[in-house]
Structure 1
């Protein structure tokens, strides 16, 4: 039996399919001194019992890119390594049993076309022709993806392992990592045990690929890896005579999937309420094990399956399997450099799609590790998206009861998590609820998304059509556009940046000019070397040597981590102030009148022009107002110490009643910002989107001598733009837009919407998305005919670069 070496460039912890893929791809890039340590045998945790479904389509373009890469890789591995992966393209069918699910899968089919995935919408009769064993009673529609497939999970992992070994990686089994050596924010080595032998490996990097042990291993490494194991059930029938190869079948309305394998049917489930497992830690000796049967838990799924697939009634059950899988709080896996450490990487928490994700995830992480920068936008799975509290074990166990089932639940727009709620609350939380707020959850924050009218149920009723809050949002937006509205933005990330070198530091990482007078607000982006957008922020100069960087709620940790990793020798301190201050946005034509009613201070353009901040008295409190707007109206964001926030809210609300002020929610804000063409980070702008092509060149000041991304901005200005972010408004007022709907230019597919919502002021749905335009003038690009594909129907849209609402921006500056 081989012992680990005394040193390595990288130590990978975990020998499932993910760890093997990371080792394979690092070796493929030419890395030497790769050591993978597996506590037992390869694949013995969860890989060995995976169902092996390998689909192409995921929720975003880049996640789809990674899934497609996995497929292509598995098709080549057998030739490369001699290990049979069992991969075959048998296709997949998803069927809908309700009108709502029909709309969902048809929208997914349109999205697949936008992502370049082969897809066919098929009728119930065509479903029956492709899957003759299926009872199609109640089937409303189907979607067929001919290039989806299935494979042998264990052999895929073993093929990756062999490929890694062939390129020099060392893969050592039956070796448990027992501890680490650490120097500040770096792991300097890991301790291991093999039988009675113990020793230490010095290393430059560590990768946590420990699967359902990832949370425990993460804690040992000083990092937060929120995931929770759940019991996951499937049955395998006895051999069914004359059963031929079939597509993978998914019936999400019955929480079930079916896979034909060697003349048998595997029936698996993602039940609505799951059973967390291992809350006290996963035993280190768990190896090729399964959990006790719970037939009562699985029985409702089986009963529906027998009715849906009558041949199951005659087929005996060969295996009833209950094995653990790990799930994350948001059903997206964890990938990337852990924010708490400078050399600990993570690839874990794959939410029962580890086989189809492993190839792409291993490739992306290896490239990230090799280059020191993400190869493309990975914000969906970046481990830094996870808030520190989400590692709480009670939280994880409660949330996991829901997240497993959400994989097959209706993916309605605006659907909110129901478990593990109420953790982060603004100081106005109780008051907002008393006034009819319907809360959503975002990064743990309870946020008012809309306000119910008196007598209206203050709860969501989900649909792909106009939901029950459609009219409420319209009324809130009308109040904001014509009078005044107030909404809570306390969830803003707020990072105080201070120190002797603070101005120089911010000018280094931000595209805008931060050397401004005290009280000035700078809207800017943090760029990468390619000119892509890593963060979209406002920076307010509070004092000569102190600034406040305000970020979206979901990216505070990501943005603070980006700043910290670029500190270098700058004398600067970063402090998370998010919980210290509440924020209330007062917006609309009457907002100045309202503030003058509750404060003796001057809110005129002469004293407080757009883009400036000032300290004020309000009620009996002190606050700071920032004159900015994300909704396109005159208005202020009021920053107030959390202990005085409830008082300030009460003062504003009481005075606002005399003006007809309306409390508003964040669904309204999203509609307003889309009407105004304001970008949303993570959708409209990402690290892949060049700041000039995103239409944000005005926020970049290249007359500064140097900043990250400056050279790329100058090159792009000289070479010209390859694409532009365009705003669209449907001519038909009925269809709704969300995101990822395909864009057609003169009948040809050219892209997809990055975001969408209903523009109540404009009387139709609006969205934005990138359109290729290399070598074209703006006039030439806009002269085309544009259509948006809404679940297979092409809807004509007007297109323009300027906002449809108040294109000059005059309303914000009156």
Structure 2
């Protein structure tokens, strides 16, 4: 078959992700799609994958993606006539400690929240299901019957055949050598056999995806890591339908294969692959290749596996597989539209979950390519969660190896990564260290999470219950409620939009009305075409033709890209990232006005500086953009200043605030304060799956104004109908209950949703959770208030009260003006 000279979509890479994407593009969208593979189909890392297929993740959307994979694999053979090796054997996850058992109880609750049936079983039941296993050290196990295993090569070949059946053209032995670019977009894919003009490119090149991306200026932060497993000879007594096993406390996994076992693991000292090439890039000629066996490195898994399955000690090893797998700095795979190139999409970095993810990842990636936006909330895997930091290959490698090493460790709440730190610090870093700050990290920025009291060691001690910072954060929380606190939020992402068409551009992109006069600021969402919330931020109008946009640290690349992508063609509006130009100090609490009045001659009275306004004021000889806004439910200002002046202004505020009890406060207190006020957090409480109406944010949408905006049509379609779900708050009285999110909400004993976030409110003295209540016939306020509620927390039911108003007001407090 001759290579075509043009195609609508070119998919690069013939592994499971590329073949699945081509299959879905052709089947679901009838797209004119060409797939290019430099070797043979499956010849990169797909062919040597272990083939375990699990489904449960901490994200409902990613769990849905993996469940889709299972459903696809079940029926693929009937469609294509090629076997997939799919076996729904179920999966046992083993727990040998109380912390692990608590983790599993929380996972079982999450599974039920997401519509899956995970059981917790005893060691005796494990022994009955897997007689060859040693169970004397087990506390118990989780059992997910719908998990399974498959043959990676067979599934991929079946997907490839399905893609061809639906009209896709697949070419092997064709190497991509570069791209022809015009105005930041790819107009043709260059290969060693000619060029293909195209409209869109999908980079599914596996361990080569970083190099393929670089040809178009796209950063794909992944690191190949050596991953080993063995395949044994036949083991007497091993059933053909034996469940797959994950033994995280021993860092190993098992699956049955032709009467023997596949056994591998995730060691705490992984080995990165640094190819012996001048560039350090993965060589093109790596078809069906492996590394030499490394039994010395693998021995740590072998000893643990024999302790679990003693029959392994006498089993012959048929083969050892030692091949590279692409891993990422946070352990999540990479999907979506590349921010640096207008028409490259990426599907790569699957962290050895490519087989489990492949079917669903191809489905959502095909939708993304054809519709221009993700079909559901895929933030945890969106390539736009990264930043320029992730172009640093050494930093990416160090962080990726840490993430690999945590693959099977207990997932403690609030756990922070340690590698590559500190990377980006605000000018206050050393000052805050002197105040005993305990830092966390967000997109490379060091940020104070909490401040250890005098005499306490400033470090996190992780646990499954209340952690060592609980009381200290409570004191910070109370201080903001009663006096005044100072938050270093210099890591906020900040942009300026300027030009004659800046107002028109933002009026289309923003759901709320940003066309207010200069000096006003607006809290707004940015919506997708489904009416879902793609971003949540503030827009301050500095002049008729200049706006200042502030959003969360982690959303820097995502929100910048979303705004840029939706400025209408031909508009004269320029968006500039000014994050590093400005430091940010949030001055919050009932005495905030007293402190601010002491350091500026500007009128900061409520009349002179009302809520929702922005002013330029002078502090310590520097011009400061002061935004009257709060995320804690108290009187307060965000103060944005030239980054070099941050230290001087911090010192001035601390000195002037001493009579009013000012103190620095961290992000954990901020989280507790916002929970009490019911402020939504993007990425958890509000996502692309949720509309402002469902989230209780309809008041922040300009539907009454005769102005079109992105997402308006979708919202108008639902006008007059009850929403299918509604956001609500919940509290529990039991002081030992720890709410984290994903706990199941029961109404009159029946599941109606799950929590999206959780924590503790120190003013109200109770654990607080937020989530969506769903109803088959829509959700009215009477429906919400007319039920009896419970929360399922780590499989245990506890009574809960529903709240439709901010809890801070419920506590008898009044928000200060």
Deviation at 1:163, TM superposition (A): 0.6
Judged with a 3 Å threshold, the aligned counterparts in structure 2 of structure 1 residues 657 and 317 are, in CA distance, closer, same or farther, namely farther
Q: 1:694 maps to what in 2? A: 695
CA distance in 2, matches of 1:296, 1:429: 43
Deviation at 1:561, TM superposition (A): 1.2
Deviation at 1:775, TM superposition (A): 4.8
Q: 1:131 maps to what in 2? A: 130
Deviation at 1:141, TM superposition (A): 2.1
Deviation at 1:425, TM superposition (A): 1.4
Q: 1:708 and 2:710 equivalent?
A: yes
CA distance in 1, matches of 2:413, 2:447: 17
Residues 93-492 of structure 1: pairs in structure 2 closer than 5 A: 93-193=92-192, 198-245=193-240, 246-278=242-274, 280-492=280-492
Q: 1:794 and 2:793 equivalent?
A: no
Would you say the 8 A contact 2:330–2:400 is kept in 1? no
Q: 1:83 maps to what in 2? A: 82
Q: 1:71 maps to what in 2? A: 70
Judged with a 3 Å threshold, the aligned counterparts in structure 2 of structure 1 residues 5 and 189 are, in CA distance, closer, same or farther, namely same
Deviations 1:775-802 (A, max 9, x none): 5541332121111100111111110211
Deviation at 1:589, TM superposition (A): 1.1
Deviation at 1:238, TM superposition (A): 2.1
Deviation at 1:809, TM superposition (A): 11
Q: 1:725 maps to what in 2? A: 727
CA distance in 2, matches of 1:460, 1:349: 30
SS of residue in 2 equivalent to 1:390: helix
CA distance in 1, matches of 2:446, 2:706: 40
Would you say the 8 A contact 2:506–2:514 is kept in 1? yes
SS of residue in 2 equivalent to 1:648: helix
SS of residue in 2 equivalent to 1:805: helix
Deviation at 1:813, TM superposition (A): 4.3
CA distance in 2, matches of 1:809, 1:278: 61
Bigger mean CA deviation after superposition, 284-293 or 767-776? 767-776
Q: 1:24 and 2:23 equivalent?
A: yes
Would you say the 8 A contact 1:610–1:812 is kept in 2? no
SS of residue in 2 equivalent to 1:752: strand
Bigger mean CA deviation after superposition, 74-83 or 18-27? 74-83
Would you say the 8 A contact 2:132–2:238 is kept in 1? no
Deviation at 1:807, TM superposition (A): 5.7
Would you say the 8 A contact 1:635–1:812 is kept in 2? no
Deviations 1:225-244 (A, max 9, x none): 11110011112222212321
Bigger mean CA deviation after superposition, 715-724 or 70-79? 715-724
Bigger mean CA deviation after superposition, 420-429 or 350-359? 420-429
CA distance in 2, matches of 1:560, 1:711: 24
Gaps of 5+ in 2: none
Deviations 1:634-657 (A, max 9, x none): 111111100100111122223333
Q: 1:659 maps to what in 2? A: 660
TM-score for the superposition, normalised by structure 2: 0.97
Deviations 1:558-583 (A, max 9, x none): 11211111112221000001111011
Aligned residues: 809
SS of residue in 1 equivalent to 2:770: strand
CA distance in 2, matches of 1:135, 1:760: 46
CA distance in 2, matches of 1:582, 1:704: 37
Would you say the 8 A contact 1:114–1:740 is kept in 2? yes
Q: 2:584 maps to what in 1? A: 583
Deviation at 1:29, TM superposition (A): 1.9
SS of residue in 1 equivalent to 2:652: helix
SS of residue in 2 equivalent to 1:632: coil
SS of residue in 2 equivalent to 1:758: strand
Deviation at 1:475, TM superposition (A): 0.9
Q: 1:678 maps to what in 2? A: 679
Deviations 1:585-608 (A, max 9, x none): 111111111222222322110111
TM-score for the superposition, normalised by structure 1: 0.97
CA distance in 1, matches of 2:298, 2:814: 58
Deviations 1:30-66 (A, max 9, x none): 4343111111111111101101001121121111111
CA distance in 2, matches of 1:68, 1:811: 46
SS of residue in 2 equivalent to 1:596: helix
CA distance in 2, matches of 1:318, 1:435: 59
Would you say the 8 A contact 2:439–2:449 is kept in 1? yes
CA distance in 2, matches of 1:704, 1:806: 34
- The Cα RMSD (Å) is 1.5
CA distance in 2, matches of 1:776, 1:209: 41
Q: 2:7 maps to what in 1? A: 8
Q: 1:516 and 2:516 equivalent?
A: yes
Would you say the 8 A contact 1:609–1:813 is kept in 2? no
Bigger mean CA deviation after superposition, 291-300 or 227-236? 291-300
Q: 1:649 maps to what in 2? A: 650
Q: 1:559 maps to what in 2? A: 559
Deviation at 1:714, TM superposition (A): 3.1
CA distance in 1, matches of 2:769, 2:237: 51
Deviation at 1:447, TM superposition (A): 0.9
Deviations 1:499-545 (A, max 9, x none): 10111211111111112122111111112232211111101011121
Deviation at 1:182, TM superposition (A): 0.9
Would you say the 8 A contact 1:564–1:574 is kept in 2? yes
CA distance in 1, matches of 2:269, 2:664: 35
CA distance in 2, matches of 1:78, 1:745: 41
Deviation at 1:3, TM superposition (A): 3.7
CA distance in 2, matches of 1:658, 1:127: 64
Deviations 1:330-362 (A, max 9, x none): 111111111111111111111110001000000
Deviation at 1:811, TM superposition (A): 4.5
Deviations 1:348-388 (A, max 9, x none): 11111000100000001111222223211111111112112
Would you say the 8 A contact 1:722–1:775 is kept in 2? yes
Bigger mean CA deviation after superposition, 426-435 or 111-120? 426-435
Q: 1:547 maps to what in 2? A: 547
Deviation at 1:73, TM superposition (A): 0.7
CA distance in 2, matches of 1:290, 1:334: 24
Deviation at 1:278, TM superposition (A): 2.8
CA distance in 2, matches of 1:668, 1:545: 37
Bigger mean CA deviation after superposition, 451-460 or 783-792? 451-460
Deviations 1:200-233 (A, max 9, x none): 1111111100001111111012211111100111
CA distance in 2, matches of 1:422, 1:292: 36
Would you say the 8 A contact 1:631–1:672 is kept in 2? yes
CA distance in 2, matches of 1:241, 1:141: 25
Q: 2:738 maps to what in 1? A: 736
Deviation at 1:620, TM superposition (A): 3.3
Deviations 1:154-202 (A, max 9, x none): 1100000011111121111111111111112111111112xxxx31111
